[in-house]
Amino acid sequence: MTIIGNGAEAVIALVGNTVIKTRIQKHYRLKEIDESIRRDRTRTEARLISEARRCGVPTPVIRDVTDFEIKMEYIDGIPLKEIINTALSGQTGELIGCLHNCGIVHGDLTTSNMLLKDGKLFLIDFGLAYLEKTVEARGVDIHVLFQTFESTHTDHEELISAFKKGYARTFRHADEVIEREKQIESRGRYA
C-alpha cells in the first residue's frame, strides 16, 4: 500500500490498480456524529461518482464501498494542470456541461481533479460534490475552475474562452450559467 494523497478529510492509498479513499476520524466531534457524517459523505461521494459515470462523464469505476472507505479504479493519467491547452480546455467544458446536465455540481473543479488518459479526460475527487440544479451553484462551480486557470496559467483568457465554447456544446443553459459566473466574479472582486 502506497499513500498517494493525504488531505483534511481523507487518506488516499494505492494498492495495485485500486485506489482506496478512507475518510479519517475527526476527534473533535462526538464519535456518533463523526461516524454519521463520514458514513454519509462516503456513500454520497460513491453514489455521485457512479451517477456521473452513468451520465457519460468518465470517472473511476467504483469497486466497493464500506462505511468510511471507497475502493475504486486507479486512473493512471496526467493531471490536466500539467498539460492544459485550449483544445483540452474545450473538452473540459464539454465534460462539465455533461456533469451539470446530470444535476451534479462537483464542488472542487480544479485542473488537479481532472486526468488525461488515452486521450480521454476523467473527473476525480467528488468529495465536495452534491446534487443541485440552480444557476448559482453551477456558476460557483465554474468560477472555481476559472480562478484555477487565472492563478496557474498565463494563457487563462484563451483557456476560459475555449471552456465556454465546450460548455455551450453540451449544456443548453450555458449562457445563463456563464453570465452568473461573471456576477459571482464581480461580487468577489468588490466584497
Question: Hey, which residues are catalytic here?
Answer: 108
| Rounded Cα–Cα distance for residues 69 and 10 (Å) | 9
Sheet holding 2-6, edge to edge: 2-6, 10-15, 18-23, 69-73, 62-65
Burial category of 24 from C-beta neighbours within 10 Å (exposed 0-12, middle 13-18, buried 19 and up) = middle
Nine-digit cell string for 174: 450555458
| Rounded Cα–Cα distance for residues 141 and 128 (Å) | 11
**Inter-residue contact 111 to 152 (CB < 8 Å):** yes
Distances (CA, A) of 121 to 49, 78, 143: 14, 9, 20
| Rounded Cα–Cα distance for residues 33 and 46 (Å) | 20
**Inter-residue contact 78 to 118 (CB < 8 Å):** no
**Inter-residue contact 135 to 180 (CB < 8 Å):** yes
